[in-house]
Amino acid sequence: MHKYLKRFVHKSPWLYRINAGSCNGCDVELATTALIPRYDVERLGCKYCGSPRHADIVLISGPLTTRVKERVLRVYEEIPRPKITVAVGICPISGGVFRDSYSIEGPMDRYIPIDVNVPGCPPRPQAIMEGILKACEIWKKRIVEVA
Amino acid sequence: MVNDYIHAGIAMLIFPGGLFALATGLLFKGMDRIAVARLQRRVGPPMLQPVFDIIKLSTKEILVPESANETVFKLAPMMGLMGSLVCAALVPIAGVWNGIPGAGDIFVLLYLFSLPALSFILGGSSSSSPFGAIGFSREMVIMFAYEIPLLATLLAVAVRADWQLSLDGIIAYQTANGPFLLDPIMIPAFLAYLMFIPGTMGIGLFDIPEAEEEVIEGPVLEYSGPLLALFNLMSAVKLMVVLNLGVALFFPLLLPGGIWVNLPFHLVKCLALMLVAVSLFRASTGRLRIDQAFNFFLKYPSSLAYVSLLGAYLLR
Amino acid sequence: MLPFLKILVRNIIKGPATEAFPFGETYTPKRLRGRAELDPSRCLTCGICSHVCAGGAIAMTESADGRGMEFRLWHNTCTFCGLCEHYCPANAITMTNDWHLSHEQSEKYTCCEVQFVEYPVCEKCGERMLPRLHQRLSKGLVGSVSTAEIMRICPDCRRLTSAMHQIKSKVSLTAGRSNS
């Protein structure tokens, strides 16, 4: 019974955004996926939630600045397992145009395990949705492994 | 005597409450989400999305804040769900279920009705989060505000139905004398009830205690996994209770035929009420400030309900 | 009164505006700047692309055996600004409209555009030399030497050929002057 139910788990990915010092470009695109009827991320069962405690898929944007690092790590810890992390935009993936700056703590995967990368500056809304779908597949695999 | 207990137990666990209320509540929530999506030119989630959400939440881990009162924190959602299930068992469905004998009283219902809101207040206050604190204080204010028009509406209906205080009697009166929705005196009370529904469900204008953008979902901020699922179930059952009550108070019209005709007819009536009072509201309105919402409830729905009450009293 | 009701009714009549994307096709503008691509047969290995690249995504390294230059563009730090395309003198870099770039973490460092630009071989001496603009300069003459011919040989051989031509043309020039 439990195993059968687990097949439906990936149908309700709740999204949570973490802005790790982003320029807001990627955040606007993330908001676009939810708010504009043309993309309608709710069709995949997604919902942007306000609290990290409700999140399943974490969307991180921004290059992890020194100032925001501690807070990002703290918020990340608040998210209940199993959690899937998606790096949105080139900043969290590689540092992007801010790489090697004195105030950048460097690529996100130094501190947080990332599962899916969505490059772009900013990525298209469709590319973000593709990334979310990839994250759902990883989530599905991970749940089956745990069971 | 024992028979009565079994009767009440079945009512609470299986038919009007319990499984039936959970299933219909979740289904109605799904339909509501689709309706809102269509009103906003979106496709919307699948109809079973609330069920998927519950399944998903049950696989997640429960996190309890260090400084929270763990017992109250974990009991609050259960209390809310039980309260709303008892409510669901008390509200009769016209032509299908006559309520637990001697228990379907509007005052009992009014008391039990505050249990879900109370569970929010307990959960929010025990979570020790400042956002939870703001959320539960807002919930408290809005609860006091919407209970006044609710009380006036219930009284108006009871007075109009020849001082019948049991819901069963109110339904019997209406089946004999025509539904209150077609009664000009009761139309203000119906409008007041329409405004009460979004208030108690916390949507649209009155999405104040659980505002995502302002207080990060307020009282349920710290809840995760199965506990959050309980809160979701609670709100689904509460939606059903509010809709059932609305149909019972204002439009318990019966079709000729047995249970199998009247039960779907009742659900259709509930759906129509939900589309007007919940979906349309959610798709078209933004959030008020808490003081504006308080003033709103004290001004418009209350005065509308009082008009009906006065009319019903004078024309008795 | 209540103008939003009119909008809601219109929305219901018009129906959803959502595109079919995750389950179907989506519209991609032709000029959308997506994944950058290099045509190695056109590349001159001049390196202006890596010089102007805003994200520092392009690296050009000469192979150890001197056979050519490796062009490596890491999509994970490319901003799709299109400067490389704009500045490329040979139109070797183009921004395609392919945006399907999301990938799993294991592919993070392999999500690259890697091309090997092989140095052409001098037709005379067989030495490796830097690539030239074959296509553009295939017509016309430089002095009296056909460009197409001179561009296929290395600078050393070219100097030699040119000198040989000069000697020849001097002879013919003096002959021509005496004729007129």
Q: Does C78 touch chain A (CB under 8 A)?
A: yes
Are residues C88 and C160 part of one domain?
A: no
Mean pLDDT of chain B: 82
For residue B264, pLDDT over 60 is answered with yes
Interface touch C111/A117, C-beta < 8 Å: yes
Phi, psi torsion values for A58, nearest 5 degrees: -100, 125
Most confident of the ranges B126-130, B264-268, C75-79, C157-161:
C75-79
- Please write the tens of the pLDDT for every residue from B180-199: 777 777 888 888 888 888 88
Residue C105 lies in a domain: yes
Instruction: Confirm whether A55 is domain-assigned.
Output: yes
In a domain? residue C93: yes
Same domain, C108 and C158: no
Question: What is the average pLDDT across C92-110?
Answer: 86
State the smallest CA–CA distance between residue A102 and chain B in angstroms: 33
* Tens digits of residue pLDDT in A47-99: 888 888 888 899 999 888 988 989 999 899 888 888 899 999 888 988 888 88
Contact B218, B134 (CB under 8 A): yes
CA R_g for chain B: 19
CA geometry: angle A40, C3, B304, nearest 5 deg: 110
Mean pLDDT along residues C59-65: 87
B172-197 as b/e: b if 16+ CB within 10 A: bbbeeeebbbebebbbbbbbbbbbbb
Q: What is the pLDDT of residue C144?
A: 59
Question: For residue B221, which residues of chain A lie inside 8 Å, CB to CB?
Answer: 50-51, 53
Q: Chain B contacts of A84, Cβ < 8 Å?
A: none
Residues of chain B contacting C, Cβ within 8 Å: 37-44, 280, 283-284
Which tens digits make up the pLDDT trace of C139-148?
A: 555 555 666 6
C40 and C81: one domain? Answer: yes
> Is there a single domain that holds both residue C112 and residue C133?
no
| Residue type at B135 in one-letter notation | G
pLDDT-derived band at B145 (thresholds 50, 70, 90) equals: confident
Please, are residues B231 and B225 in contact by the beta-carbon 8 Å criterion?
A: no
Q: Measure the CA–CA gap between C20 and C18, rounded to whole angstroms.
A: 6
Q: Which of B55-69, B204-218, B274-288, C75-89 has the highest mean pLDDT?
A: C75-89
Is A144 part of any domain? no
Is C126 found in the same domain as C104?
no
Residues on chain B touching A48 (C-beta within 8 angstroms): 212
The pLDDT of residue B250 is 82
Count how many domains chain A has. Answer: 1
Quick check: C89 and C63 in contact, CB under 8 A? no
Domain containing B164 equals: 2-314
Closest by Cβ to C17, choosing from B41, B44, B280: B41
A74 contacts chain B (CB < 8 A): no
Which of C98, C118, C138 finishes a domain? C118
What CATH number does the domain containing A13 carry?
Answer: 3.40.50.12280
pLDDT of the residue at B100 = 67
pLDDT at C140: 55
Return the partners of chain C (3 or more C-beta pairs < 8 Å). A, B
Provide, rounded to the nearest whole percent, the portion of chain C with pLDDT above 70: 86
Task: Decide if C56 contacts A90 (C-beta within 8 A).
Answer: no
Interface of A to C at Cβ within 8 Å reads: 37-40, 43-44, 90, 93-97, 99, 109, 113-121, 123-124, 126-131, 133-134, 138
Task: Kindly list the residues from chain C whose CB atom is less than 8 angstroms away from the CB atom of residue B36.
Answer: none
pLDDT at C180 (0 to 100): 47
Task: Establish if A40 belongs to a structural domain.
Answer: yes
Same domain, C37 and C94: yes
Q: Which two tokens stand for residue B21?
A: 């209320």
Residue at token pair 């400030």: B289
How buried is residue C178: exposed, middle or buried, by Cβ count under 10 Å (0-12/13-18/19+)? exposed
What subunits make at least 3 CB pairs under 8 angstroms with A? B, C
Distance, in Å, from the CA atom of C95 to the CA atom of C150, rounded to the nearest integer, reads 32
Report yes or no on C13 lying in a domain: no
> What value does the mean pLDDT take over residues C124-145?
66
Is residue A97 a contact partner of residue C54, using CB atoms and an 8 Å limit? Answer: yes
Please report whether residue C7 resides in a domain: no
Helices (H) and strands (E) in chain C, counts: 5, 8
**Measured in Å, how far apart are chain C's first and last C-alpha atoms?**
98
* DSSP string over C81-116: --HHHHH-TT--EEE-S-----EEGGGGGG-EEEEE
Instruction: At B178, list the tokens.
Output: 């025509």
Is the model's pLDDT at C67 over the cut of 80?
yes
Testing the interface with A: which of C23, C27, C52, C76 to mutate, by most A Cβ within 10 A? C76
Q: Which domain holds residue C78?
A: 32-118
C15 touches B at CB < 8 Å: yes
Total number of domains in chain C: 2
Return the higher-pLDDT residue of A2 and B130: B130
Report the number of secondary-structure helices (H) and strands (E) in chain B.
13, 0
CATH of the domain at C61: 3.30.70.3270
Helix, strand, coil percentages (3-state) for chain B, rounded to 5, are: 75, 0, 25
User: Is B284 close to C4, i.e. CB distance below 8 A?
Assistant: yes
pLDDT(B259) > 80:
no
Task: Among B47, B55, B131, pick the best mutation site for testing chain A contact (most A Cβ within 10 A).
Answer: B55
- Helices and strands (DSSP H and E) totals, chain A: 5, 5
* Domain that includes residue A107, residue range: 8-138
Residue B107 has pLDDT above 60, yes or no: yes
B46 interfacial to chain A (CB closer than 8 Å): yes
Q: Per-residue pLDDT for A147 more than 60?
A: no
Which chains touch B (3+ CB pairs under 8 A)?
A: A, C
Answer whether residue A146 is part of any domain: no
Is residue C12 a part of any domain in this protein?
no
Q: Give the pairing type, strands A57-61 and A14-19.
A: parallel
Q: Amino acid letter at B83?
A: G
**CA B205 – CA B288 distance, rounded (Å):** 5
Domain count, chain B: 1
Is A3 domain-assigned?
no
Whether the pLDDT of residue A42 is over 50: the answer is: yes
Cα(B30)–Cα(B44) distance, rounded to whole angstroms?
9
- Predicted local confidence at residue A1, as pLDDT: 62
Instruction: Assign C118 to helix, strand or coil.
Output: strand
Neighboring chain C residues of A97 at a CB cutoff of 8 Å: 54-56, 79
Backbone φ and ψ for B30, nearest 5 degrees, come out as -60, -45
